[in-house]
A and B are shown apart, each in its own frame.
Chain A
C-alpha cells in the first residue's frame, strides 16, 4: 500500500503571503514531482488561504512531503487525502461557434444530458460551463470535439474532506 502510486488531494491552510506559492511548489519540484493541479483560494476562516494540490505518488512519499510543507513557517496545517475521503470537483469552459448551437441538434442534446450550463451566447460564439468529475468533463470534451471547439479550459481540482479539519481550534489554541 505504502509503495503503490496513487492520487492524493493535498489541502494546505496557510497565511496569505506573497511567495508562499514558490515555497510550496519548490518542495515538489526539488523532488522531481509533477503537480497535476494547484488551486489557491479563501477558506472557511477569514484571512486564511486554502490550497488544493493534486499529485500522484506513494503514500510513503506523500507523508514526507506533508512534513516538508508543514515545516514552512507560514503553513498552518497540511493534510493529504485519497479520492474516497473527499468530495471533489473540477470546472471547465468551452467556447464554441454559435452557428453550431442552431445547426447541430445533437449539441443541444449533449448540453442537456451533461448538465452543462450556457454562460453566454452572442452572434459568434457561446460559452458552456460544466463542473464535475474529471471523467464527466472528458466525456463532454470528446463529444464536443467532433463539432469543433474554439477554446477549452479546465480548472484545478477543488475538494472538501469528509472528515473535519480542526483549523479554527488550532488557531484558537495559539491565542490562549
Chain B
C-alpha cells in the first residue's frame, strides 16, 4: 500500500542494499528518501559534516542559505503551508539552534509540518558547557511535537523516518532532531525504511458513525445553523468535502484566519471571517445561531472573545482530529473525532438538502451594515491618504484572486486576511497563533519555491519587515521571484491602534523612523518602487504583478488608520465595534 504511493526515486532508495556511509551522508540520504528537494539553513561548526555532504549532493537537493536561522524556519513553514509537504530547516549548534526557536514555536501553534535538524557538540562534550553547546532538545521540548537527540550514526535512519512521519501525520507539527558531531562522522551500514506507525501514537482517531448520526440529526433539525471552519480543513485536504456539505445543507459558513481560502471568497455561502477583526455578521450571529458546527478549528481566544458569552444559546458540534481540543475552550454537545476529509465525506449522505434563505439573509443584511460603515471606506476611500484596503483591492483585481498572499503581523495582516480574494486553497499564509512579526518575507520565499507556478505576494508592515529584512539577500542570491509589498504607516500600527483606543493615545515606542526601503531593496538588486499617491497605485501594482523577477513595492499609507470591526479583548463577539 505504502509502496504504491512512492515515487520511482523513493523506491530505488528502499531497494538499495546496506551501504557503509557516514552519519552525515546518511542524513542527506534520508532527506532524499523522504522526497525533500529543497531545505533552508545556515552552516556552522557542529553541522559542517552535513554541509559537506550537501555540497556533494547539490545536484539532487537544493540548500537555500537564508540570512538568519529564523528565516530558515519561516521559509520551511511557507514551503509546507502552500504545498502540504514537510518543510526542512537546518542549523548549527548553540546560537544557530536557538535562532530556530521562534519559527518552531510558530509551526507548533499553527500545526505546520517541519523538520529541523541541528548539529550538536560531540557526545563526549555534552553537558560540559562546550563551545556553542546549548541544550536544544530541552529548550525546544515545549514547542515541538517531538524531538530527539542522536549520538550514534546507526540511529539516524530510524529517527529521521520517525521525524517525517510524526511531522506530517495526524495534526501536523514541528520536529527537531539534534545530531552530535561524532555521530555525523561515524560510519555505519545504512539502510532506510519509511516509518508507517508508532505504537504509542494514534494520529488519526476513528470516525464514529454514532457521533456522525448525532451531528447530522442536530444539523437537520437546525433552523439557524452556522459553520466555522479552520485550518483542519486545509490540513485534511477536505476542501471539496466541506464545500459539498455546505452546499447540500445550505449552511452559512465562516472561517478562522487559519482556515481562509479553503472555500473561495466568492462562494455565496462564504460569510467571511470570525474573530477579533473578522466580519460583523458571523461574529454577531455566532451568538444567535442554534447549531454551531466547528470544523478543524480550536476556538482560539482571538476567535471566541469572552468565552462565557460565546454561543451559549447554541448546540455545538466539533469535528476535530486532536482529542485534546475537545471541550478545551468551548463545551461541545457532539464531538466527532477524526480526519476532516473522512468525517465530512461520511456526514454528507446523512444530511437533508436545505437552504436557510431567511437566515442567510441576516448575514447579508449585516454585511451591508459593515460595508457602509467600514468596507466601503477601506476599499474605495475618498479621503486623500492611501488605505491598506485599497492596496489589497488592487492586488485582488490584478491577480484575479489567484495569488497566494503571505502576510506578516499587525494591521496589514488583518486587512490582508479580511480583503484578500482567494480562488485557490492554501493561499493565505500567515502567522496565526503565534503572531510572529518577521514571518512573511522568509515564508514567502519558501512558498514561492514550493509552488513556482503560483504568484506569491508578501504583504508586510514597516515594523515586521525590519525583523527579517535581511532575507532580501536570500531573494537576491536565489533569484526567487517573490513580490513584496510593504504597507508603510511609519508606526507599529496595530499596537498604536490599541494605544489610541485603550491607552489614551499615549504612543509609547510605536512611532518608527524608517530608512529608505526602496534604496535598501535596490541595494540587494531587487527592483523597487514607492507609491505615495492613489493615481500611481494601479500602474505600479500592475508592473509588480507583470514582473518576472522579484519586486519590492512600498506603499505609504495613512499613518493613523484603524482596523475595524473589532472585538475588544475581553468583550463578547456580539459586542463587536464598527468604529
| Residues of chain A lying within 8 A (CB to CB) of residue B323 | 67, 70-71
CA distance A73 to B198 in the complex (A): 8
Which listed residue (B137, B146, B326) contacts A73, Cβ 8 A?
A: B146
A71 touches B200 (CB 8 A): no
Q: Would A14 and B327 be within 8 Å (CB), given that A19-B137, A26-B141, A30-B142 are in contact? A: no
Question: Is B147 in contact with A19, judged by CB distance below 8 angstroms?
Answer: yes
Contact (A75, B200) CB under 8 Å given A19-B147, A64-B324:
yes
A74 in the interface (beta carbon within 8 A): yes
Given A63-B327, A67-B323: A73 and B142 interface contact (C-beta under 8 Å)? no
Could you say which of B147, B148, B166, B324 contacts A67, with CB atoms under 8 Å apart?
A: B324
Known interface pairs A18-B149, A64-B327, A64-B328; A71-B199 also in contact (CB < 8 Å) = no
A23 at the interface (CB under 8 A from B): yes
Is residue A5 within 8 Å, beta carbon to beta carbon, of the partner chain? Answer: no
- Interface check B138, CB cutoff 8 A: yes
Please name all residues of chain A whose beta carbon is closer than 8 Å to the beta carbon of B141 when the two chains form the complex. 19, 22-23, 26
Residues of A within 8 A of B199 (CB): 76, 171, 174-175
The reply to whether the CB of B288 lies closer than 8 angstroms to some CB of chain A is: no
**Which B residues lie within 8 Å of A175 (CB)?**
199
**A73 touching B201, Cβ below 8 Å:** yes
Q: Chain B contacts of A15 at CB under 8 A? A: 200
Quick one: CB contact mask for B199-217 with A, threshold 8 Å, 1 for yes? 1110000000000000000
A170 to B137, CA, bound (A): 29
B511 at the interface (CB under 8 A from A): no
Write the nearest CB–CB distance from A64 to chain B, whole angstroms: 6
Asked if B324 and A14 sit within 8 Å, CB to CB, the answer is no
Q: Which residue of B lies closest to A66 (CB)?
A: B324
Chain B 471-522 interface residues, beta-carbon cutoff 8 Å to A: none
Complex Cα gap A73–B175 (Å): 11
Which residue of B145, B147, B200, B324 has the most chain A CB atoms within 10 A of its CB atom?
Answer: B200
A64 to B145, CA, bound (A): 17
Contacts of A68 in B (CB 8 A): 324
Within 8 A of B (CB), among A138-160: none
Please tell me if B53 contacts chain A, counting CB pairs below 8 Å. no
Chain B 317-331 interface mask (CB, 8 Å, partner A; 1/0): 000001111111000
Q: Which of B147, B324, B327, B328 has the most CB of A within 10 A?
A: B324
* Contact between chains at B200 and A67 (CB < 8 Å): no
From A60, which residue of chain B is reached at the shortest CB distance?
B327
Classify chain B: how many residues form its interface, as a range.
20 to 34
**Chain A residue contacts of B142, Cβ below 8 A:** 23, 26, 30
In the complex, the answer to whether B147 meets A71 with C-beta atoms within 8 Å is no
Contact with B along A84-111 (1 / 0, CB 8 A): 0000000000000000000000000000
Q: Are A14 and B200 in contact (CB under 8 A)?
A: yes
Is B452 engaged at the interface, CB distance under 8 Å to the other chain?
no
A175 to B197, CA, bound (A): 10
Give Cα distance in the complex from A15 to B162, angstroms: 14
When the two chains form their complex, are residues B138 and A22 in contact, meaning their CB atoms are under 8 A apart?
yes
Cα of A111 to Cα of B149 in the assembled complex, Å: 49
Distance of A103 from chain B, by nearest CB (Å): 48
Which chain A residues border B200 with CB–CB below 8 Å?
A: 14-15, 73-76
In the bound assembly, the distance between CA atoms of A19 and B176 in angstroms comes to 13
Chain A residues within 8 Å of B148, by CB: 19
CB-nearest residue of chain B to A26: B142
Closest CB of chain A to B224's CB: distance in Å? 29
With A and B bound together, what is the CA distance between A18 and B166 in angstroms?
A: 18
Q: Closest Cβ of chain A: how far from B403's Cβ, in Å?
A: 35
Chain B nearest CB, measured from A45 CB (Å):
11
The 8 A CB mask of B120-163 against A (1 = contact, 0 = none) is: 00000000000000000110011001111100000000000000
Q: Report the Cα distance A74→B327, complex, angstroms.
A: 23
| Complex Cα spacing A171 to B198, Å | 10
Chain B residues with CB under 8 Å of A74's CB are 146, 200-201
Interface string of B146-190 (1 = CB under 8 A from A): 111100000000000000001000000000000000000000000
- Contact: A71 with B322, CB < 8 Å? yes
Q: Which residues of B contact A75 (CB under 8 A)?
A: 200
The residues of B that contact A73 with a CB separation of less than 8 Å are: 145-146, 166, 198, 200-201
Chain B residues whose C-beta falls within 8 Å of the C-beta of A70 in the assembled complex: 323-324
Distance from B143 Cβ to chain A, minimum over Cβ atoms (Å): 10
Smallest Cβ-Cβ distance to A30: which chain B residue: B142
**A75: nearest chain-B partner, CB-CB:** B200
A42 CB to nearest B CB, Å: 16
Instruction: Give A30 to B143 CA distance when docked, in angstroms.
Output: 11
**Residues of A with C-beta under 8 A to B198:** 73
Q: Which single residue of chain B is at the shortest CB-CB distance from A19?
A: B137
Closest A residue, CB atoms, query B145: A73
* Cα A106 to Cα B30 with chains together (Å): 70
Given contacts A67-B324, A67-B326, A73-B145, 8 further A-B contacts (CB under 8 A): A23-B142, A63-B327, A67-B328, A71-B323, A73-B198, A73-B200, A75-B200, A175-B199
- List chain B positions with a Cβ less than 8 A from chain A: 137-138, 141-142, 145-149, 166, 197-201, 322-328
Contacts A/B (CB < 8 Å), 18 sampled: A14-B200, A19-B137, A19-B141, A19-B147, A23-B142, A30-B142, A63-B327, A67-B323, A67-B324, A70-B324, A71-B322, A71-B323, A71-B324, A74-B200, A75-B200, A76-B199, A171-B199, A175-B199
The 4 closest A-B pairs by CB, nearest first: A67-B324, A174-B199, A76-B200, A73-B146
